[in-house]
């Protein structure tokens, strides 16, 4: 739940926000003037402010400035009628998160609200480094006492207070984003905003305008000026996540920002100067990308003033028990499970598994095991099934039960952004459906294929993918794992 303050002199607008955002589980307060909003803000912490520009008394732009002085990290979204669009652009230049034209497009507005709340979360939610005591799941934590992690902590401590660019490298799921947030929080810019840009998630064509902004008419559809993320983050920190994925044109521009702290908006000639600290992360092998011509070597050297290598989990197995304890306590609080239990033999697969998805995979595994266990001790077999070890048959697998679909989906909707990718949910659903169909048809694959409405070869391929089929090729119709 987030706390959102809506400033608009029209009651109907405030009511609409209260209703829509309230239904999403947020707490929404309304203010009919900027003055009363500032009073509310002084008394109560908020996660987001949405304000109209044209207000009686102090206008939205002035309100924005006061809010920025009071709480530079609080995201503010401005709304405006077409006539005052120029002011709205001005507002983003002065640090508003984004602006929307009235009449509002509800879907687009919701998206912006979600992104603003996520940005606020990343900025504000404290990352504790290597805590000894794990019973405080209210903060995020970088867990691990291994030598490799100690090295990471030392480097964070050394570079955080400087303004140097930092490149964070490591396989997927090792905790690069956590490290970036820790660097930010321990930096001298921690009171200023952090702007996170996931370069891989934004289509190539949009990335450039997202970062640098554009002038009216810069391309078809550029109806007015737009201020980019770099300009908005002036005096603050920019985290370029997945920097290995950016196209060459954008690489050249980022290089210039690092070298002379300047750039032009798309379609503009005015040189804009910014004072931003750049943090970047990638799971790509940049040396290889450079050799193949996909990444500029000069940019690499500029970014690489300090590199923090985050080790893969398999190289610091001694941290697994700590991480498991941390995730158990964190998720059991969330799932309202009193005492999460792990059978003694369940440690074996956790210790021995290779964790190609690193800490993220471990986190998901514990989360799901807890959901499926519903308070019973988590068994080795549950974990092996979740991790796809031993290629278990549907019948033996405690995890395969259509009953799990509802909690799975609910869990996804509640935590999707932070913990599990959409594709992974689809995989889980697919696995459950395959297992159910096989169960109903007593292992008869033709029948299962008919039930699922898919050709047999497709079913075969899917069963193989999920490890639900024995390796022995079969021409018959028996249960894929039966021995008879």
The DSSP call for residue 58 is S
Q: Would you state the structure tokens that stand for residue 319, as one six-digit string? A: 């941290």
Q: Does 175 bind ligand ATP (CB under 6 A)?
A: yes
- Does residue 360 sit in helix, strand or coil? helix
Alpha-carbon span 24 to 302, nearest angstrom: 43
Q: Using CB under 6 A, which of 49, 143, 156, 468 touches ligand ATP?
A: 143
User: Which residue's CB comes closest to ligand ATP?
Assistant: 175
For ligand ATP, the closer of residues 355 and 372 by Cβ is 355
Beta partners for residue 453, in sequence order: none
**Contact residues for Mg ion (CB under 5 A)?**
177
Q: How many residues interact with ligand ATP (rule CB under 6 A)?
A: 19
Tokens 């500032």, located at residue = 38
Tell whether residue 302 is a contact of ligand ATP (CB under 6 A).
no
Output DSSP code: residue 72: T
Quote the CA–CA distance of 49 and 31 in Å, as a whole number.
10
Angle at CA of residue 399, ends 338 and 351, nearest 5°: 75
Instruction: Work out whether the CA dihedral 8, 13, 18, 21 comes out positive or negative.
Output: negative
Out of 14, 26, 169, 176, name the contact with ligand ATP by CB under 6 A: 176
Sole window of 38-46, 165-173, 284-292, 403-411 interacting with ligand ATP (rule: CB under 6 A): 165-173
Which of 84, 174, 373, 428 binds ligand ATP (CB under 6 A)? It is: 174
Cβ atoms < 10 Å from Cβ of 41: 21
- Least gap, CB of 421 to Mg ion (angstroms): 11
Q: CA distances (Å), 361 to each of 313, 368, 399, 424, in order?
A: 10, 10, 17, 11
Taking each helix axis as running N to C, give the angle between helix 358-373 and helix 380-387, from 0 to 180 degrees, rounded to the nearest 10. Answer: 130
Tell me which of ligand ATP, Mg ion, none is bound by residue 359, counting a contact when its beta carbon lies within the kind-specific cut-off of 5 to 8 angstroms. ligand ATP
271: which residues sit within 8 A by CB, 6+ positions away? 262, 263, 264
Indicate the residue among 109 and 211 with the shorter CB distance to Mg ion.
Answer: 211
Among 8, 32, 90, 177, indicate the residue that binds ligand ATP (CB under 6 A).
Answer: 177
Q: Does 466 bind ligand ATP (CB under 6 A)?
A: no
Which of ligand ATP, Mg ion, none does residue 142 bind to, with CB < 5 to 8 Å depending on kind? ligand ATP
Indicate the residue among 5 and 279 with the shorter CB distance to Mg ion: 279
Pick 116 or 141: Cβ nearer ligand ATP = 141
Evaluate the omega torsion of the peptide bond into residue 103 and state whether it is cis, within 30 degrees of 0. yes
**Contacts with ligand ATP, residue ranges (CB under 6 A):** 140-144, 170, 172-178, 283, 323, 359-360, 363, 419
């Amino acid at each position: 739940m987030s706390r959102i303050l809506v400033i608009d002199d029209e009651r109907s607008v405030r009511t609409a926000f209260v209703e829509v955002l309230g239904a999403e589980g947020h707490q929404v307060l309304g203010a009919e003037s900027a003055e009363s909003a500032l009073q509310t803000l002084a008394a109560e912490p908020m996660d987001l402010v949405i304000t109209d520009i044209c207000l009686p008394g102090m206008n939205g732009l002035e309100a924005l400035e006061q809010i920025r002085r009071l709480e530079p990290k609080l995201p503010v979204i401005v709304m405006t009628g077409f006539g005052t669009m120029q002011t709205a652009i001005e507002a983003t230049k002065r640090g508003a998160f984004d602006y929307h034209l009235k009449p509002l497009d509800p879907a687009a507005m919701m998206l912006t609200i979600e992104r603003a709340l996520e940005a606020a979360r990343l900025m504000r939610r404290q990352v504790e480094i290597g805590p000894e005591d794990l019973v405080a799941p209210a903060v995020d934590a970088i867990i691990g006492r291994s030598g490799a992690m100690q090295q990471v902590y030392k480097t964070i401590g050394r570079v955080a207070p400087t303004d140097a660019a930092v490149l964070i490298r490591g396989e997927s799921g090792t905790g690069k984003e956590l490290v970036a947030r820790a660097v930010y929080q321990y930096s001298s810019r921690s009171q200023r905003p952090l702007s996170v840009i996931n370069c891989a998630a934004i289509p190539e064509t949009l990335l450039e305008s997202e970062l640098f902004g554009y002038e009216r008419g810069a391309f078809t559809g550029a109806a007015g000026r737009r201020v980019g993320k770099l300009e908005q983050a002036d005096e603050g920190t920019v985290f370029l996540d997945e920097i290995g994925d950016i196209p060459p044109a954008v690489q050249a521009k980022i290089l210039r920002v690092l070298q002379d702290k300047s750039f032009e908006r798309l379609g503009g000639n005015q040189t804009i100067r910014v004072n931003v600290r750049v943090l970047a992360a990638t799971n790509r092998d940049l040396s290889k990308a450079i050799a193949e011509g996909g990444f500029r070597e000069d940019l690499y050297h500029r970014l690489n003033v300090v590199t923090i290598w985050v080790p893969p989990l398999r190289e610091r197995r001694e941290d697994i028990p700590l991480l498991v304890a941390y995730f158990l306590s964190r998720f059991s609080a969330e799932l309202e499970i009193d005492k999460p239990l792990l059978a003694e033999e369940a440690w074996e697969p956790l210790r021995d598994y290779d964790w190609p998805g690193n800490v993220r995979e471990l986190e998901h595994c514990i989360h799901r095991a807890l959901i499926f266990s519903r308070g019973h001790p988590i068994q080795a077999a549950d974990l092996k099934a979740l991790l796809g070890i031993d290629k278990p048959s549907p019948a033996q697998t405690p995890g395969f039960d259509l009953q799990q679909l509802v909690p799975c989906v609910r869990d996804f909707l509640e935590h999707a952004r932070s913990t599990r990718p959409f594709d992974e949910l689809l995989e889980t659903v697919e696995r459950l459906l395959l297992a159910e169909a096989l169960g109903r048809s007593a292992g008869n694959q033709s029948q299962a294929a008919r039930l699922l409405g898919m050709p047999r070869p497709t079913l075969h391929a899917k069963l193989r993918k999920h490890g639900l089929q024995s390796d022995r090729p079969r021409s018959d119709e028996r249960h894929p794992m039966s021995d008879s």
